[in-house]
Amino acid sequence: MGYQQQTAVGSGITWALSTFKQIGNDLEDQTLASFMLPTDQGFTAGDSIILEIYGEDGTLEGDYSFVDEDNTATYGLTNPGWYPLAKMQNWEATDADLSNDVVVPFGKGVIITSGEADAPLTFAGEVLNQAMAFDVVGGGITWTGNATPKNLKLGDLALPTDAGFTAGDSIILEIYNESGSCDGEYSFVDEDNAATYGLTLTGWYPLAKMQNWEATDADCANTTVDIPAGKMVIITSGEADTTLTLPNPMD
């Protein structure tokens, strides 16, 4: 068991995912309760921290507002935690709307926006003790990342190298920063396409260099790009479904 903290960035965007599985539960049992903020933080408004969950097609599946202890009475509530954003904005939320049990599949990233000062976002539970494979959706968007409690390299986010994609830039991984702008975007090259692009190494390469046919083996970003614990990434794929595997963090 253990815990890890990230920072929910004040006046910014936090791209987050849980780094622990819930104690005694299957990985599929992650919930919004896995993304907890201090209940006594004293935010100036109950809707000052918002969490959004997006689907495979990039559309919003649900958005929730965090209510701390100082603001529960203001909204006629008794329990701190996550509530549907629309009901909070319309002053319609009741205790029955508490959404802490909304399921967020393990390895699924969420977006948290905050209008307040930085606040600690805490994950607690059991450390993942096995390698895990997640679905990468063909023709869609996969919101995932480093769901382990230790930093990884980009190459640790492994796709099958012999999948035989029809183009070397058919799977793209994007990393975003706290302002919501893109920090880096990378294209996955498998064995079938390495030679096509004059490469010998499989893995991740800067997207722009791949698109311009300028990439060389020296540009392979497998070991040069860090993915911090709990850092979310967005993967888009134009091909059939495949899998992304994270290593066992206990190894």
**pLDDT per residue as tens digits for the range 148-185:** 888 999 999 988 877 666 554 588 999 988 778 899 99
Confirm if 123 and 19 have CB atoms less than 8 A apart.
Answer: yes
Mean pLDDT confidence for 100-106: 89
Residue 202 resides in a domain: yes
- Taking the CB of residue 3, how many other CB atoms lie within 10 A of it? 11
Name the nearest CA neighbour of 125 among 39, 245, 25, 231. 25
Q: What DSSP string describes 55-99?
A: -TTS-EEEEEEEE-HHHHGGGT-SS-EEEEHHHHHTT---GGG--
pLDDT in tens, 184-197: 999 999 888 888 89
**38: helix, strand or coil:** coil
Residue 205 lies in domain:
132-246
Name the nearest CA neighbour of 169 among 105, 107, 238. 238
105 with 171, same domain: the answer is no
Looking at per-residue pLDDT, the higher value among 52 and 124 belongs to 52
Residue 222 resides in a domain: yes
Residue that the structure tokens 């791209």 belong to: 15
- The residues near 124 (Cβ < 8 Å, ≥ 6 apart) are 1, 2, 3, 4, 20, 36
Q: Given 69, 90, 125, which residue is the final one in a domain?
A: 125
**Percent above pLDDT 90 for the chain:** 40
- The residues near 185 (Cβ < 8 Å, ≥ 6 apart) are 172, 173, 174, 175, 206, 207, 208
106 with 8, same domain: the answer is yes
Please tell me the pTM assigned to this model.
0.84
195 with 117, same domain: the answer is no
Tokens of 187: 């294209």
114 with 144, same domain: the answer is no
